[in-house]
Amino acid sequence: MNPSRRQALRLAGIGLFGLLASRTVYIQAVAGPQLAARAKAERTVSWVNRARRGDITGRDGTVLASSAVTYDVGVNQQAVSQYEQVEEQADEATGGTREVVVGYGAAAAAAQLAAVLDQDPLELGAALVGDSSYSIIAQEVDPDTWRRIKALGIPGVEPDQRTRRTYPAGNVAGNVLGYTYEGDSRQLIGSAGLELTQDDLLTGTDGRGSEEIGRTGAIIPTGDQQDDEAVPGTTVRTTLDPDLQSIAQAAIDKVVAQESALWGVVVAVEPATGKVLVLADSGSVDPSDPAATAEEDRGARSVEAVFEPGSVGKVVTFATALEEEAVTAEETWNVPYTWTASNGQSFRDSHPHDHQVLTTAQVLAESSNVGTVQVGERVSDEARYSCMERFGWGAPTGIEMPAESAGLLTSPQDWDDRTRYTTMFGQGIACTSLQAVQVLATIANGGVRVAPRVIDAWITADGEETTQTVPEGVRVISEETAATLTDMLIGVTQEGGTAEAASVDGYLVAGKTGTTEILTEDGTVASFVGFLPAKEPALAIAVIVYRPKGVYGGTVAAPVFREVALAAMQSLGIAPDPAVVAGAAAQGDGEQVDGVDAR
């Protein structure tokens, strides 16, 4: 062979060998791992272990909102068609056992699945046939049922794990709890109430799982497997008393229906701690079916809706005058039916009457507008405004609820000649039901305002509890002023006062009625706000009824206060006051107190 040709062939061979070698190195070092990874990815099935959303409970641990992990069962119809049902049978030839195929495809899979799912095998079999890569055959299957399905080892049967929210108490505290919706990633997301404000804490941490599947859909025993457990969300324990909340909801629903009112609210707060035991809205939403309630009724009007407090606002005027030592409880006032101020503004009382001479305490007990504006004239507008601010008007309370309103409180510089007087009896300003009860709770607490709260503690999945501390109190009025006001407010519920219907057998009740016209529409707001036992206050309660047929707080709202207050005393284990019982007996009332005839 020509030497030059031989040399050329040798060089070509070396080049070809080099090319093959480099190709081999590329496959082994570069493409190989990529191909292996791609193949592994194609045969790996992964899933999410959904985290259980934290519970929301009452103060006593009663579960108000909970979660359950369920599975939607889907099938890859193509994979199911390849199924071979295998059983071990005795092998007479060898004396041992051997695997025998006893069923094929959708028919065999349906026979096994139907027994677990309690479905008709023929109907289920039809659902397993087709070309779909994912078709749901069962929904909301519990974990135990899914484990039985998984143990069958049928290829193509896949779980879709979901967390569903449940509300065991129905609509009890529904407007406080709120509700959730399912996001794109199957995660529950808070949409209202505490479900919204506490969403980050209630939401747990999902786990992850994966396993390698062979061509037949069977798990590869030697393949990589992962199954990281989810971490449940934090439980939120509220300050609510579920039983008392239920009673209050029933009571406010009843009066709203009787009075053809638009809505009503009951709020009950511990004066010394700020803990809210009741936050009840009429027509409370059922969180498990929020769509059944009109959108405007799904929130919590107790913290969102504002109204002019009316005569409840007189309490702040009297508190200011007493605190400034501008009046005394025993001082007398000339109270005609109508009265004209020095700036020409005229005012009248709610009912015609002859000229009266009333003490300061009697002016408050009878809720006289004419007497109140005379008392209010004794102090500056700036002093009254400052007292309103200290009582918490014009600012949100900070309760752990969404969309809380700050109310409406303008500065004295913005008051005209009439507004400076109307603010003395609760008009020209606006507050929420929670802000209204805060005024009486402050007086009940010796003049110290404690911010209300509806969350008592947070409890993690491993049991670690973080208790919410009692908010630092704000001194609004002196103890002496608070004590004087308490005595005056007791008179409101006694004979001759505007709220005899709010009295509770065996207990002293201090409180104030409120009736105010709604400026933007026809109708009134009827209210009663009070506390009991008056000398050792345990609870302050507000009842607000918006646009009732009846007009006055003493006849519309006071009876609801009485019903809720009596239930609260029994629930809290507070016995009737022997002195009150004895006083009633001395008057010959013959009242029954806890089953004991007082006569």
Instruction: Specify the DSSP class assigned to residue 469.
Output: P
5-30 as b/e, with b when 16 or more CB fall inside 10 Å?
eeeeeeeeeeeeeeeeeeeeeeeeee
Cβ atoms of 124 and 105 closer than 8 Å: no
Cβ atoms of 287 and 173 closer than 8 Å: no
**Band (265; pLDDT cuts 50, 70, 90):** very high
Burial level of 354, CB count in 10 A (0-12/13-18/19+)? Answer: exposed
**Band (207; pLDDT cuts 50, 70, 90):** confident
Torsional class of 449: left (φ above 0), alpha (ψ -120 to 50), beta (otherwise): beta
pLDDT at 93: 78
Output 103 or 216, whichever has higher pLDDT.
Answer: 103
Among the listed ranges 407-411, 445-449, 491-495, which one has the minimum average pLDDT value? Answer: 491-495
Cα–Cα dist 461/458, whole Å: 10
pLDDT at 35: 63
Output 94 or 563, whichever has higher pLDDT.
Answer: 563
What percent of the chain stands above pLDDT 90?
A: 73
Residue 164 structure tokens? 């569903």
Residue 271 structure tokens? 């004066």
- The alpha carbon of 291 is separated from its chain's Cα centroid by a whole number of angstroms, namely 17
Asked whether the bond before 533 is cis by omega within 30 degrees of 0, the reply is yes
Does the structure show a pLDDT above 80 at 102?
yes
Average pLDDT, the chain: 90
Half-sphere exposure of 513 (CA within 13 A, CB side): 34
pLDDT at 581: 87
Does the structure show a pLDDT above 80 at 406?
yes
- The alpha carbon of 325 is separated from its chain's Cα centroid by a whole number of angstroms, namely 43
**Band (590; pLDDT cuts 50, 70, 90):** very low
Taking 3-state DSSP, the helix, strand and coil percentages for the chain, each rounded to the nearest 5, stand at 35, 25, 40
What would the mean pLDDT of 488-509 be, rounded to a whole number?
91
**Band (217; pLDDT cuts 50, 70, 90):** low
- The dihedral sign for the CA sequence 25, 27, 31, 34: negative
pLDDT at 597: 31
pLDDT at 350: 87
Cα–Cα dist 476/487, whole Å: 18
* pLDDT, tens digit (0-9, with 9 covering 90-100), for 463-473: 999 999 888 99
Does the structure show a pLDDT above 60 at 475?
yes
Strands (DSSP E) found in 167-214 = 180-182, 188-190, 207-212
pLDDT at 495: 84
Cβ atoms of 387 and 478 closer than 8 Å: no
What percent of the chain stands above pLDDT 70?
A: 89
**Band (215; pLDDT cuts 50, 70, 90):** low
Look at residue 568 and give its three-state secondary structure.
Answer: helix
Among the listed ranges 164-178, 205-219, 527-541, which one has the minimum average pLDDT value? Answer: 205-219
What would the mean pLDDT of 307-326 be, rounded to a whole number?
96
Cβ atoms of 309 and 513 closer than 8 Å: no
Output 6 or 75, whichever has higher pLDDT.
Answer: 75
Q: Are strands 474-475 and 539-546 parallel, antiparallel or unpaired?
A: unpaired
**Band (532; pLDDT cuts 50, 70, 90):** very high
Does the structure show a pLDDT above 50 at 595?
no
**Band (330; pLDDT cuts 50, 70, 90):** very high
pTM given for the model: 0.85
| The total number of residues written for the chain in this structure | 599
Does the structure show a pLDDT above 70 at 566?
yes
Cα–Cα dist 517/568, whole Å: 30
pLDDT at 48: 77
Does the structure show a pLDDT above 80 at 22?
no
Cβ atoms of 531 and 542 closer than 8 Å: no
pLDDT at 591: 44
Cα–Cα dist 267/561, whole Å: 10
List C-alpha distances in Å: 445 to 181, 469, 497, 529, 576: 41, 17, 23, 15, 20
Among the listed ranges 68-72, 93-97, 115-119, 154-158, which one has the minimum average pLDDT value? Answer: 93-97
Cβ atoms of 367 and 498 closer than 8 Å: yes
Bridge partners (DSSP) of residue 88 are: 99
Residue 75 structure tokens? 């099938």
> Of 232, 200, 278, 283, whose CA–CA distance to 454 is shortest?
278
Does the structure show a pLDDT above 90 at 228?
no
Does the structure show a pLDDT above 50 at 594?
no
What would the mean pLDDT of 294-303 be, rounded to a whole number?
95
What would the mean pLDDT of 103-124 be, rounded to a whole number?
94
What would the mean pLDDT of 28-55 be, rounded to a whole number?
71
> Of 289, 294, 299, whose CA–CA distance to 164 is shortest?
289
pLDDT at 9: 59
Cα–Cα dist 264/200, whole Å: 31
pLDDT at 255: 98
pLDDT at 484: 97
Segment holding 164, helix H or strand E:
strand 157-166
Over 435-450, what HEC string results?
A: HHHHHHHHHHCCCEEC
Does the structure show a pLDDT above 80 at 8?
no
Number of neighbouring beta carbons within 10 Å of residue 346: 11
What are the start-end ranges of the H helices in 219-270? 242-258
Look at residue 152 and give its three-state secondary structure.
Answer: coil
Among the listed ranges 199-208, 218-227, 284-293, 550-559, which one has the minimum average pLDDT value? Answer: 218-227
Bridge partners (DSSP) of residue 45 are: 211
What would the mean pLDDT of 116-123 be, rounded to a whole number?
94
> Of 3, 159, 162, 5, whose CA–CA distance to 68 is shortest?
162
pLDDT at 598: 29
